[in-house]
Amino acid sequence: MSENAHTKAEADRLVVAQGTFDILHPGHVHYLEQAAAMGDRLVVIVARPTNVDHKAAPICSANQRRELVDALEVVDEAILGDTEDIFRPIERLEPDVIALGHDQHHDPEAIRAELAARGLECGVERASAREPQYEDELLSTRLIIERILRRRG
Ligand SMILES: Cc1cc2nc3c(=O)[nH]c(=O)nc-3n(C[C@H](O)[C@H](O)[C@H](O)COP(=O)(O)O)c2cc1C
Ligand SMILES: Nc1ncnc2c1ncn2[C@@H]1O[C@H](COP(=O)(O)OP(=O)(O)OP(=O)(O)O)[C@@H](O)[C@H]1O
């Protein structure tokens, strides 16, 4: 491979991150900053409500959640996830790395197996948790919603 092509290839390291991102908070920013640092370009897949089956359904629409994630400085592009096959966007994007959130419920080995089954060469890394940095941080959408219910419910 010529020097230019090799240099170009290295400069195109695509990272994919994913999540619900219902009500954004500093934990999301930390995760996406970590994901962005794993490569040169960060595309974020925003989960469809039908695919958020491991916790309460998001409050905000997928379009609204996508728009806010897309507006973040560290995100090159946020896209709505596929409704049926969560690996379809991965097949289309062919990322170099999938960045999992620190507590994301996906099993990295299961993801690696599915990537291999689909002939996709892609790393699977896990980001760290954001450590609290000041008094009264709410680093979880669920905690934000619980406070809203307590104070405004
Ligand atoms: C590799 C990967 C690809 C994903 N692709 C999609 C997708 O295409 N559509 C979607 O609705 N969700 C997609 N998701 C998100 C999952 O559906 C899941 O709901 C998401 O991880 C939200 O979990 P969390 O917000 O609790 O972290 C993907 C997740 C992973 C790990
Ligand atoms: N405090 C945090 N530190 C680092 N990453 C976080 C933090 N909170 C959420 N994330 C990451 O952001 C991604 C999207 O998470 P999600 O949209 O489920 O937010 P959440 O605050 O974890 O929601 P909930 O509190 O309802 O579980 C996940 O990969 C998750 O690991």
Instruction: Give, using CA atoms, the residue closest to atom 19 of ligand 1.
Output: 52
Q: How confident is the model at residue 5 (pLDDT cuts 50, 70, 90)?
A: low
Kindly state if the Cβ of 111 falls inside 6 Å of ligand 1: yes
Is the pLDDT at 38 greater than 80? The verdict is: yes
User: Using alpha carbons only, what angle is made at residue 75 by residues 73 and 79, rounded to the nearest 5 degrees?
Assistant: 135
Q: How confident is the model at residue 89 (pLDDT cuts 50, 70, 90)?
A: very high
Which one, of 55, 54, 12, 16, lies nearest residue 32 by Cα? Answer: 16
From the CA of 80, the nearest ligand is 1
Fold of 14-152: Rossmann fold (3.40.50)
List the chain domain ranges: 14-152
| Spacing, Cα 131 to ligand 1 middle (Å) | 23
pTM: 0.94
Q: How confident is the model at residue 8 (pLDDT cuts 50, 70, 90)?
A: very low
Kindly state if the Cβ of 52 falls inside 6 Å of ligand 1: yes
How many percent of the chain have pLDDT more than 70? 93
Q: What are phi and psi of 91, to 5 degrees?
A: -60, -35
* Residue partners of 135: CB distance under 8 A and separation at least 6: none
Q: How far is CA 107 from the centre of its chain?
A: 15
Is the pLDDT at 98 greater than 70? The verdict is: yes
Per-residue pLDDT, averaged over 77-84, amounts to 98
Q: What are phi and psi of 3, to 5 degrees?
A: -55, -50
Per-residue pLDDT, averaged over 15-33, amounts to 98
ipTM: 0.97
Instruction: Give, using CA atoms, the residue closest to atom 22 of ligand 2.
Output: 140
| Spacing, Cα 147 to ligand 1 middle (Å) | 26
| Spacing, Cα 28 to ligand 1 middle (Å) | 14
From the CA of 98, the nearest ligand is 1
**pLDDT tens digits for range 55-76:** 999 999 999 999 999 999 999 9
